[in-house]
Structure 1
Amino acid sequence: MGKKKQEVRYDADGVRRVMRKRDYFADFGGQLGLGLMANLVGQLTYFYTDKVGLAVGGVGIMMMIAKIIDALTDVIVGNMVDHSKGGNKKYYSWMLRMAVPAAVVIVMMFTVPKGAGSAVSLAYVLLTNLLLTAVIYTMIATPFGAVMIVRTNSLSERSSMGLFRAVGNYGAGMVISIVTIPVTNMLGGTQNAWIKYGFVIAVAVLLLFLICYANGRKAKFASDFEAEEQQMETEEEEAVPFKEALGMLLRNKYWMIILLFNLITSITSAVAASSGTYYAKWIFGNDNLVAVVGTVGMLATFVGFAISKPIISKFGVTKTVQIGLLGAAIPSLIRCLMPTNFTVYVVTGLVSSFIQIPLMCLYGVLTAMTVDYNEWKYGKKLVAMSGGAIGFGSKVGNGLGSVVLAGFLAVGGYNAALESATTSMRYSIYGFSNYLPLIVNLVMFFIFTRFDLEAKLPKMREEVAARKEEK
């Protein structure tokens, strides 16, 4: 007997569905592996200073250099992936190539030579950080991000992929933040304990990447189904020279809006990740309250993920983003009016976390929409480069976030040795915790009122399809 023919399914917009349940879970695993790598890097400053004994200033400089170089590699790797051969399978082949190097370098991150001198240790810190983030992570994350764009043409399926990836990324952050210190302390709290911990994470990352690749290499993409229906082979898009491709992206207003969106939200996210400790210590007088706020925020996040898909389905991509931005501005406004009330602080944090979760699920979807626009306007998708350049905005935003935070503290005359905060210190903390997110979310809301691509996409796709039939 022959193989049972797969039932053809369509979404509400009449676009063919191609995703299977195992595709979503494999996708989740790939993002979980990337998230473990990224969030592990966030723990390194503490490891370098408290376990290896390196000077915080030297570590900060090395990490800053690594972050700058890391940000630049996204566009380069994106263009490199677009120029590579292999059809749709090329997006997963990079994951296979980098899986073992990723596991090896994760362990190497913790084998800093302590007895070789400060200069050698710092050089090792810089080298391993560059290898993990600027090279290996980027070479996996850039083509993996492009998969969401080329895997399916259905906005509904792209939203579901975004949801699974957001859960994977957030889950990785939770795992690393919750278990790292207790586990390494349980193992002895020494550098050797961190090496053992790194080995376990490395094995987990390796397995997750291999599982994701194994599923991906068998997957059928939207273009594969289209080629079958037209009884022809899938054509490989001709690569565009780097300078020409970059010029096309810069003339795509929708891509520019998403780039700005990623840049600004990454800045505020980076600031928010550190602001809670300062707020709890200097405004409420007890830094242990961070755990209370974090637990409440985590509960809100779970609920947010659970209802993200229905929200996106009901309101659509653009309206969901606009509601999220406006909704996030309101809690910040309330905090500005009542900055010293702990209950208000906790409740507004809960509401803000809940409202912004659907936005986390839509970064890839929005990028995919700009790629569709590229194809309509220029006849070229520029898949990986579009996603890589968006990744550039995120990485630069994260780097600038620490600069913004330091700038606010410097202007406020921050002094960690004081027993209580001065007036200027308190207002600097209010500035980056309350006023900055209020202003940023309002600005982004008004910018997104110009994002009308979602309504135009169906007609654009019809025109692209008609052009292909004429050839």
Structure 2
Amino acid sequence: MLAEKQQSVHTKSIHVDAPSHKEMLNYGMGFFGVILVWTLVGTFLTFYYTDVAGISAGVVGTLMLVARLFDGVTDIGMGTLVDRTKSKHGKARPWILWMGIPLGVTTVLLFAVPEIGETGKIIYAYVTYIALILVYTAISIPYKTLLGLMTQEPYKRSVLNIYTGVFTMLSTLAITILAQPVASAIGGKMGWTVVAAFSGFMIILTSILAFRSTKERVGASSVTVRKDIPLKKGLKALFTNRYWLIITLYCVVAYTLNALLAGAGLYYTTYILGNAAYFSLVGLLLFLPTIIGFFFMAKLVGKFGKRNIALTVSIIGIFGPIIKLIDPSNLTVFLTGTAIQGFGLVPIIMFLYAMINDTAEYGEWKFGIRTEGLVNSAASFGMKVGAGLGGALIGWLLAFGGYVGGVTEQSSTATTMILALNIYIPFVLALLQTVLMWMYKLDKQYPQILAELKERK
């Protein structure tokens, strides 16, 4: 009788920690809207500011870095706030409901710079961009934290991350391929405002869907049950968590690389390849390895683990910039290099959020403190720093090269800077990304960590 009762409890525990495929699908769909906004801003905002709104490249570069650094700092505060949120809906899900509409509205405002003079446009850009990233932080940190709260089982968490990857890919491709042609077809500033309005509507819709269709299941072990962990103690545990440090540095490097490939790509197709319309094709090929990987990645993860696959594709991605150097102005060569370079983006889309949440278990096992919100927000800080640094490099190097927005032909120095942003710097970043992934070896230890944590409950 006792054995049957224990078996029943065990079965119930497994069931509770196992979200259904329908729930994982709805969570992934929630990411569609979030990434739609992230991709629109990360890929086209710099170009919109310099070539449509008429703001100088140097000013835009400084704006990108200042805003993102400020955004990164607020990530820490948001993570702490999520950890301390108590409601009948949990601690992450309520924020997804609350912040959907504000993010939709600020997305539209961002791509609606009025004609109010150079100084006025700069002030408007700072105010609206900072407003957007604050609201984006308030929804993206809970989204990422929710992944770790839906399940603690490593394979399910990996599959859940792959679901998010599918919709991340769909939203990224939708914006990368369609945004520029649609904006150009409508024309002028209005074209980009319409694209932003569509993105804003989608974030509102998908946020409501994700809130209604998901459930938080994972709590702290008996060792770590306490109402509020002091921020100082939480940060100390965080910065002595070596795997969190590695994955956060990886976030900085990977998102700097991603910002360059996305944000500088339109300049390359326009002024090096001679046709802005090529950017849609470049965007498609950049994500081609990830698209193919979706069909069999779950089986590969089960056999080889997240880290080993991530390391392998990162090594392959290094050869992309090398191929581009064969003939930088040749479309076929550039597209081939782009497709190979796309292997380096696979870990960002398919594994990164799961790996970040795995470090929360490591921290709980090592230090007796569980802070999913702080872990995700601090790693998100690395993403924001990387995205800000990438955007800043684009603006600053273009300004250094004497870039002039909207002209037919650029100077040789400006052309050199465009080459550096698309080939030379990404090559160095791809090397660093691979080294950091090689240093991340938590996968081997994770089953033991999870087993010991379950024994404490």
State the TM bucket, normalised to the shorter chain. Answer: 0.7 to 0.9
Please state how far the C-alpha of 1:398 moved relative to its aligned partner: 1.1
Residue 28 (structure 1) aligned with residue 28 (structure 2): yes
| Other-structure match for 1:175 | 174
- 2: CA distance, partners of 1:200 / 1:179: 12
Call closer, same or farther: CA 1:185–1:337 in 2, change over 3 Å.
closer
Please give the alpha-carbon distance, in whole angstroms, between the structure 2 residues aligned to 1:70 and 1:62. 12
Write the distance in 2 (CA, Å) between the matches of 1:276 and 1:104: 27
Length-normalised TM-score, structure 1: 0.81
2:156 partner amino acid: E
Give 3-state SS (helix, strand or coil) of 1:384's partner: helix
Number of equivalenced pairs? 447
Contact 1:15/1:153 (<8 A) preserved: no
Q: 1:223 to 1:100 in 2, by over 3 A?
A: same
The farther-off stretch of 80-89 and 203-212 is: 80-89
Structure 2 equivalent of residue 232 of structure 1:
none
Shift of 1:155: 1.7
Change (3 A) 1:460 1:182: closer
Residue 156 of structure 1 corresponds to which residue in structure 2? Answer: 155
Q: AA paired with 1:174?
A: L
- Alpha-carbon distance in 2 for matches of 1:204, 1:197: 11
Mapped partners of 1:275, 1:129: distance in 2: 19
How far 1:83 moved relative to its partner? Answer: 2.1
Q: Contact 1:318–1:451 at 8 Å: present in 2 too? A: yes
Displacement, 1:363? 0.6
- Retained in 1: the 8 A contact 2:57–2:399? no
Shift of 1:77: 0.7
Q: Deviations over 1:390-439 (max 9, x none)?
A: 1110111011113344566677x5666896875x7776555444443443
Q: CA deviation at 1:214?
A: 0.7
Report the secondary structure of 1:90's partner residue. coil
Say whether the 8 Å CA contact 1:278–1:429 is kept in structure 2: yes
1:40–1:335 CA distance, 2 compared to 1 (3 A): closer
| Residue equivalent to 1:323 | 312
2:217 is matched with which residue: 221, 230, 244?
Answer: 221
Note the C-alpha offset of 1:54. 5.4
Say whether the 8 Å CA contact 1:304–1:355 is kept in structure 2: no
Aligned to 1:76: 77
Does structure 1 retain, via aligned residues, the 8 Å contact 2:238–2:375?
Answer: yes
Q: Tell me what 1:147 maps to.
A: 146
User: Corresponding residue for 1:19?
Assistant: 19
- Which moved further from structure 2: 42-51 or 80-89? 42-51
- Say if 2:207 is the partner of 1:209: yes
Does the CA contact (< 8 Å) of 2:322 and 2:427 recur in 1?
yes
Matching of residue 246 in structure 1 with residue 235 in structure 2: yes
Letter in 2 for 1:21: H
8 Å contact from structure 1 (residues 17, 152) kept in 2: yes
Alignment-mate amino acid for residue 91 of structure 2:
K
2:360 aligns with 371
Is 2:90–2:216's contact at 8 Å kept on the other side of the alignment? Answer: no
| Residues 26-52 of structure 1, C-alpha deviations (whole Å, 9 max, x = no match) | 112211111122233344455556665
Match of 1:125 in 2: 125
Q: Larger deviation: 55-64 or 304-313?
A: 55-64
The aligned counterpart of 1:461 is 450
Letter in structure 2 aligned against 1:176: I
Query: Residue 442 in 1 paired to residue 431 in 2?
Result: yes
d(CA) in 2 for partners of 1:286, 1:378: 55
Are the counterparts in 2 of residues 149 and 365 from structure 1 also a CA contact under 8 Å? Answer: yes
Query: Who is 2:5 aligned against?
Result: none
CA deviations on 1:340-384 (whole Å, 9 max, x unpaired) are 654333223212324642542111111111101110011111110
Deviation at 1:61, TM superposition (A): 4.6
Question: How far is the alpha carbon of 1:132 from its aligned partner?
Answer: 1.8
Cα distance change on mapping 1:197 and 1:331 into 2, 3 Å? closer
Aligned match of 2:165: 166
The alpha-carbon deviation at position 211 of structure 1 amounts to 0.9
In the TM superposition, residue 98 of structure 1 has moved relative to its aligned partner by 1.4
Does the CA-based 8 Å contact 1:79-1:242 persist in structure 2?
yes
The answer to whether 1:349 aligns with 2:338 is yes
Question: Structure with the greater relative contact order (CA < 8 A, sep ≥ 6): 1 or 2?
Answer: 2
TM-score normalized by the length of structure 2 = 0.83
Alpha-carbon shift at residue 389 of structure 1 (Å): 0.6
Query: 1:270/1:304 Cα in 2 relative to 1: closer, same or farther (>3 Å)?
Result: same
Specify the code of the residue in structure 1 equivalent to 2:450.
Answer: R
Query: Structure 2 stretches of 5 or more lacking a match?
Result: 1-7
Aligned to 1:153, the other structure's residue is in SS state coil
My pick for the range that moved more, 383-392 or 320-329, is 320-329
Unaligned 5+ residue runs, structure 1? Answer: 228-234
Give the Cα–Cα distance (whole angstroms) in 2 for the partners of residues 129 and 428 of structure 1. 25
Superposed, 1:2-81 pairs within 5 Å as: 18-42=18-42, 43-47=44-48, 61-81=62-82
Over alpha carbons, which structure has the higher Rg? 1
